[in-house]
């Protein structure tokens, strides 16, 4: 499974600090894990992560490849806020079997099982996570989620990763405009895949670019599509792609 780093944010301003930055309402921490993202002021993706209450502190579970840059970015925003950001020393355990004590459901989808944090070694069960992700169109950091991503095109509303009723956060204006004033013409979709193609292969329709094929498993895949062109004979190299309506 992807390596994760678990940061701990602590200090009297932690809640208000995060509330003003991330896409979701951290008041949801009273009910379990919160899935959220940090965006650029232009509304593009910087990082996605899980938040968990840990006493007076908050744990932040992020992909290892994004952890250093995210820590730096949070430090830039911190200014004089009374917030400390440090490595928690904890590791992620996750699975889809019986939920152990202290574990919490993954808020993105019930089929994504549970997540827990402890000093034990990072662990996973034998779940085929890609199979679950592609069937429910759940993007992965660094694969479907990149610096070019907009979270609404990436399905964050369905994944419980954005709250439209909370106050302002970085990138909120662009995200709200996409939600209320425009019809999304591009986005991630689960597709049928007959054959295989490397992650990142261009999808074409009638000789025109229609999108990009990403993770694939068991005849399904996640594709980023131009929805106006996602019709008829779609191909990614030798693979035949069909959009499930």
Q: Is residue 224 domain-shared with residue 156, that is, in the same domain? A: no
Q: Is residue 132 domain-shared with residue 90, that is, in the same domain? A: yes
Q: Is pLDDT of 170 > 60?
A: yes
Q: Is residue 73 domain-shared with residue 159, that is, in the same domain? A: yes
pLDDT band at 130; cut points 50, 70, 90: very high
Q: Is residue 197 domain-shared with residue 87, that is, in the same domain? A: no
Residue 245, pLDDT score: 60
Q: Is pLDDT of 203 > 60?
A: yes
Q: Which of 132, 165, 180 represents a domain boundary (last residue)?
A: 180
Read off the CATH number of the domain in which 133 is found: 3.30.1360.120
Q: Is residue 107 domain-shared with residue 153, that is, in the same domain? A: yes
Q: Is residue 51 domain-shared with residue 89, that is, in the same domain? A: yes
Task: State the Cα–Cα distance between residues 237 and 99, nearest whole angstrom.
Answer: 41
Q: Is residue 170 domain-shared with residue 214, that is, in the same domain? A: no
pTM of the model: 0.95
pLDDT in tens, 12-21: 999 999 999 9
Mean pLDDT, residues 192-202:
95
Please provide the DSSP assignment of 128-174 as one string. Answer: -HHHHHHHHT---BTTTB-TT-BTTTTTTTTTT---SSS---TTHHH
Which residues are CB-contacts of 69 (< 8 A; sequence separation ≥ 6)? 46, 47
Q: Is pLDDT of 230 > 90?
A: no
Residue 50, pLDDT score: 98
Q: Is residue 79 domain-shared with residue 159, that is, in the same domain? A: yes
- Mode of pairing for the β-strands spanning 104-105 and 114-118: antiparallel
Task: State the Cα–Cα distance between residues 141 and 139, nearest whole angstrom.
Answer: 7
Q: Which of 180, 201, 231 represents a domain boundary (last residue)?
A: 180
Residue 235, pLDDT score: 95
Q: Is residue 212 domain-shared with residue 168, that is, in the same domain? A: no
Task: Give the range of the structural domain holding residue 29, as residue numbers without chain letter.
Answer: 4-180
pLDDT band at 206; cut points 50, 70, 90: confident
Task: State the Cα–Cα distance between residues 197 and 240, nearest whole angstrom.
Answer: 10
Instruction: Label each residue of 184-218 as H, E or C.
Output: CCEEEEEEEEECCCCCCEEEEECCEEEEEEEEEEC
Q: Is residue 96 domain-shared with residue 198, that is, in the same domain? A: no
Q: Is residue 195 domain-shared with residue 105, that is, in the same domain? A: no
Q: Which of 126, 151, 180 represents a domain boundary (last residue)?
A: 180
Mean pLDDT, residues 215-242:
93
Residue 77, pLDDT score: 95
Q: Is residue 129 domain-shared with residue 221, that is, in the same domain? A: no
Residue 2, pLDDT score: 57
Residue pair 221/171 in contact by the 8 Å Cβ criterion: no
Averaged pLDDT of the chain: 95
Q: Is pLDDT of 1 > 70?
A: no
Task: State the Cα–Cα distance between residues 22 and 240, nearest whole angstrom.
Answer: 38
The total number of structural domains in the chain stands at: 2
Residue 65, pLDDT score: 97
Query: What is the percent of the chain where pLDDT is above 90?
Result: 89
Mean pLDDT, residues 86-105:
96
């Amino acid at each position: 499974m992807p390596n994760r780093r678990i940061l701990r944010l602590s200090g009297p301003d932690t809640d208000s600090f995060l509330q003003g930055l991330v896409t979701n309402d951290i008041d949801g921490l009273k009910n379990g894990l919160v899935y959220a993202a940090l965006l650029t002021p232009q509304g593009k993706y910087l990082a996605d992560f899980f938040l968990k209450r840990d006493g007076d502190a908050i744990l932040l579970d992020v992909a290892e490849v994004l952890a250093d840059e995210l820590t730096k970015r949070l430090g830039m925003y911190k200014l004089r806020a009374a917030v400390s950001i440090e490595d928690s020393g904890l590791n992620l355990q996750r699975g889809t079997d019986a939920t152990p004590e202290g574990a919490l459901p993954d808020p993105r989808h019930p089929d994504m099982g549970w997540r827990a944090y402890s000093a034990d070694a990072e662990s996973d069960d034998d779940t085929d996570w890609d199979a679950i992700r592609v069937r429910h169109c759940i993007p992965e950091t660094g694969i479907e989620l990149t610096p070019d991503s907009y979270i609404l095109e990436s399905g964050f509303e369905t994944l419980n990763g954005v709250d439209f009723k909370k106050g302002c956060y970085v990138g909120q204006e662009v995200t709200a405009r996409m939600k209320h004033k425009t019809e999304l013409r591009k986005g991630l979709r689960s597709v049928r895949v007959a054959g295989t193609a490397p992650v990142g292969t261009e999808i074409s329709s009638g000789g025109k670019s229609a999108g990009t094929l990403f993770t694939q498993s068991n005849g399904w895949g996640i594709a980023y599509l131009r929805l106006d062109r996602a019709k008829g004979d779609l191909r990614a190299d030798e693979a035949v792609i069909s959009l499930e309506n």
